């Protein structure tokens, strides 16, 4: 069974969105909407820190990886942005070398946008299940640099941050066990980060029904209902969207972990994992708790994963 052995995260410098208003191209009205309406205050953003440095910082905190580097068979990089750097530069291969992961088959996953992180964990589990070594591991690296204004602002939705997560996965461990997973891709008519007005209207129209269907599918795969879920670890696009969705989901707002939205912004596919580490540090998860990780990517891709702590 796919298991999350350990998750570690790295937050770059936290910067006020007010201080970045001009760089983000926000009007005063938009700034108030993102702040008061969406619940955003600061984002993780550091112009000087490279993507390699950010990922290595997350990997360096994985205590369970030390001494087991040769057991990592797969190094997987789920991406929202297809082309982060010109060939032959590759943060992924730099991390592989610097971390001593010499036996790891190394590749990226794209086309699932911000749902890619959860999809990558599922892919890692399938690959490890076929590996003859029961001690084999996979390492999933999530989160990325937001190099351009197009990548830094999701119009009408949120502002992106640059937090990263390193997720160590096993097919034999019994720690945080994946009980159910589901994903679905639905065309909005525009697969890009910047959608046309028509595509955005389509996305908003099918978003709640599709998200609920994917969550229901993941819960069914786990043999559970929403009443069995102790905590929801969402993507951190904005607070108001999750407050509105809580009734549809059938949980109280305080069962959805929204603490990081004012502190990190939307860190691409890393959000559910960043929230997991924070929730654990705050004592929001106890042994035996079942939690739900959810992420949605523009285009649009939906993913939900049920895990037992």
| Helices (H), ranges, the chain | 21-24, 28-32, 51-59, 91-98, 116-129, 149-152, 197-222, 239-249, 261-264, 271-281
Q: Which CATH number fits the domain that encloses residue 279? A: 3.40.47.10
Instruction: Please state the rounded mean pLDDT for residues 138-158.
Output: 89
Q: Mark whether 157 and 202 lie in a shared domain.
A: no
pLDDT of residue 190: 59
Per residue in 224-240, pLDDT tens? 999 999 999 999 999 99
Q: Does 139 have pLDDT greater than 80? A: yes
Question: What residues contact 265, with CB distance under 8 A and at least 6 apart?
Answer: 17, 40, 42, 43, 44, 45, 158, 159, 160, 161, 236
Q: Is the peptide bond before 240 cis (omega within 30 degrees of 0)?
A: no
Residue 288, pLDDT above cutoff 70: yes
> What's the pLDDT at 44?
94
What tokens were used for 229? 């879920």
Q: What is the mean pLDDT of residues 136-164?
A: 91
* Closest by CA position to 267, among listed 233, 230, 240, 223: 233
CA–CA gap between residue 65 and residue 141 (Å, rounded): 13
Residues of the chain above pLDDT 90, percent: 79
Residue 128 and residue 239 in one domain: no
Give the total number of structural domains in the chain: 2
- pLDDT value of position 161: 94
Torsion of CA 215, 219, 221, 222, to 10 degrees: 140
Same domain, yes or no: 101 and 198: no
Residue 5 confidence (pLDDT): 97
Indicate if the pLDDT at residue 243 is higher than 80.
yes
Mean of the pLDDT values across residues 114-141?
96
Q: Are residues 64 and 114 in the same domain?
A: yes
Which of 84-93, 136-145, 294-303 holds the top average pLDDT? 136-145
Average pLDDT of 18-35?
A: 93
Q: Average the pLDDT over 183-189 and give the result.
A: 83
Structure tokens at 180: 């159910």
The C-alpha atoms of residue 33 and residue 44 are separated, in whole angstroms, by 19
Q: What is the pLDDT of residue 191?
A: 56
Q: How far is CA 53 from the centre of its chain?
A: 18
28-67 per-position pLDDT tens digit: 999 999 998 899 999 999 989 999 999 999 999 999 999 9
Residue where a domain terminates, one of 170, 188, 208: 170
Clarify whether residues 64 and 103 are in a common domain. yes
6 band by pLDDT with thresholds 50, 70 and 90: very high
Output the pLDDT for position 87: 72
CB 85 within 8 A of CB 150: no
Q: Please tell me which residue, 86 or 12, carries the higher pLDDT value.
A: 12
User: Taking the model in full, what pTM does it have?
Assistant: 0.94
**50 cis-preceded (ω within 30 degrees of 0):** no
The residue range of the domain holding 85 is: 3-170
Do 161 and 238 fall within a single domain?
no
Residue 192 has pLDDT above 80, yes or no: no
Which of 52-61, 97-106, 145-154, 218-227 shows the lowest mean pLDDT across its residues? Answer: 145-154
Residue 71 and residue 88 in one domain: yes
> Is 186 found in the same domain as 65?
no
Residues written for the chain: 309
144 and 190 within one domain: no
Tell me: do 13 and 157 sit in the same domain.
Answer: yes
Whose CA is closest to 163, among 211, 207, 114?
114
The percentage of the chain sitting over the pLDDT mark of 70, rounded to a whole number, equals: 96
- What's residue 82's pLDDT? 76
pLDDT level of residue 123 (50, 70, 90 thresholds): very high
Cβ(277)–Cβ(283) below 8 Å: no
Q: Are residues 266 and 158 in the same domain?
A: no
Whether residue 201 is found in the same domain as residue 127: no
Which strand (E) or helix (H) includes residue 8?
A: strand 3-10
56 vs 40: CA distance, rounded Å: 27
| pLDDT averaged over every residue in the chain | 93
- Tell me which of 155, 170, 185 is where a domain ends: 170
User: pLDDT band at residue 197, thresholds of 50, 70 and 90?
Assistant: confident
Query: Of 170, 201, 231, which residue is a domain's last?
Result: 170
User: Which tokens sit at 178?
Assistant: 């994946």
- Model pLDDT, residue 195: 65
Question: Of 209, 253, 216, 210, which is closest to residue 231 (Cα–Cα)?
Answer: 253
Q: What is the DSSP string of 238-303?
A: -HHHHHHHHHHHTS-GGGB--TTHHHH-B-GGGHHHHHHHHHHHTT---TT-EEEEEEEETTTEEE
pLDDT, residue 194, reads: 62
């Amino acid at each position: 069974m796919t298991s999350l052995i350990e998750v570690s995260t790295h937050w770059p410098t936290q910067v006020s969105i007010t201080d970045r208003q001009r760089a983000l191209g926000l009007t005063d009205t938009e700034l108030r909407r993102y702040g008061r309406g969406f619940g955003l205050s600061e984002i993780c953003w550091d112009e000087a820190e490279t993507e390699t440095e950010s990922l290595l910082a997350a990997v360096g905190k994985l205590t369970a990886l030390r001494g087991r580097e040769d057991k990592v068979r797969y190094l997987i990089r789920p991406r929202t942005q297809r082309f982060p750097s010109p060939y032959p530069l590759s943060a992924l291969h730099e991390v592989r070398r610097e971390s001593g992961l010499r036996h790891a088959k190394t590749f990226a996953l794209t086309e699932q946008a911000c749902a890619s992180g959860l999809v990558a964990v599922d892919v890692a589990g399938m690959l490890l299940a076929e590996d003859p070594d029961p001690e084999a591991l996979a390492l999933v690296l999530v989160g990325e640099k937001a190099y351009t204004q197009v990548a830094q602002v999701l119009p009408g939705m949120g502002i992106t941050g640059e937090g990263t997560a390193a997720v160590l996965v096993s097919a034999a461990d019994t720690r945080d066990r994946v009980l159910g997973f589901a994903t679905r891709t639905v065309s909005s008519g525009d697969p890009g980060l910047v959608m046309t007005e028509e595509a955005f209207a389509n996305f908003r129209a099918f978003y709640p029904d599709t998200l609920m269907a994917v969550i229901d599918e993941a819960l069914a795969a786990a043999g559970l209902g929403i009443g069995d879920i102790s905590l929801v670890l969402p993507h951190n696009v904005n607070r108001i969207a999750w407050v509105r969705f809580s009734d549809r989901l059938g949980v109280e707002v305080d069962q959805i972990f929204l603490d990081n939205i004012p502190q990190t912004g939307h860190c691409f596919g890393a959000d559910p994992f960043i929230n997991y580490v924070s929730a654990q540090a705050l004592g929001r998860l106890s042994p035996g708790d079942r939690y739900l990780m959810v992420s949605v990517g523009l285009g649009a891709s939906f993913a939900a994963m049920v895990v037992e702590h």
